[in-house]
Amino acid sequence: MLINRVPRLACRTQLGALIAGSLYLTLSDYALPGLTEPWDPAEEVIVEPLPHLPVIKDLIVDMETFFEDYRAISPVFKPGNPDPSKERLMFPLVVRELEQYTPCILCAACYAACPVNRKNPRYLGPAALAKLYRFRIDPRENQGAERLMTADNPEGWWGCEFHTNCRRVCPKDVPPDKAIGHARQELSRMKKDQNSLGEGQ
């Protein structure tokens, strides 16, 4: 829910932290319909439905758009080789890198906090892009470049404006902005290499 104008998990939000008012987001002046009285965050708690999603009733939103964007990136493991006789091994450093992006609980807090999702309903959003990058860096897959190209457009990697709201509101500390930054760097290198090859022919 939007609690004191910040997307949060209602089940985990403590009143003490709200009154302290420790979290503010960039470009997040979410309008509260019908609010005419001055609001004092040190004295009052305002609870609203998540923004950027249609309200069904009261605090309940329709999350279908969020899940459509999530499904669009094909968020399933696609092994690059046949099932091994025992297990697929990975180096510990690779596991640690992957584990940054795996704890997502699909709560849509990042989606609701993202100013780009507010401006562009076609933007895939932080959760989908973080998950896409998680599969891109998984060495057990063989579709790394394909994964990158899936979101090589203004509605994907290049739509992010790096407000970092997504990272700040995530209850599981997933860093979508980091994933997006890495993906952009990789795409830029790939395109530069392709241009160099084209010039050399």
Compute the distance between CA of residue 186 and CA of residue 148 in angstroms, rounded to an integer: 8
Tens-digit pLDDT profile for residues 67-76: 999 999 999 9
**In the chain, where the domains are located:** 54-200
**Confidence check: pLDDT of 65 > 70:** yes
Fold assignment, 54-200: Fumarate Reductase Iron-sulfur Protein; Chain B, domain 2 (1.10.1060)
Question: Where do runs of H (alpha helix) occur along 60-143?
Answer: 64-72, 92-99, 109-113, 115-119, 126-136
DSSP 160-195: -----HHHHH-TT---HHHHHHHHHHHHHHHHHHHH
Alpha-carbon gap, residue 197 to 59, rounded angstroms? 54
Higher pLDDT, 184 or 199: 184
* Higher-scoring residue by pLDDT: 129, 93: 129
Q: In Å, how far from its chain's centre is CA 141?
A: 21
Cα–Cα distance for residue pair 145/143, rounded to 1 Å: 6
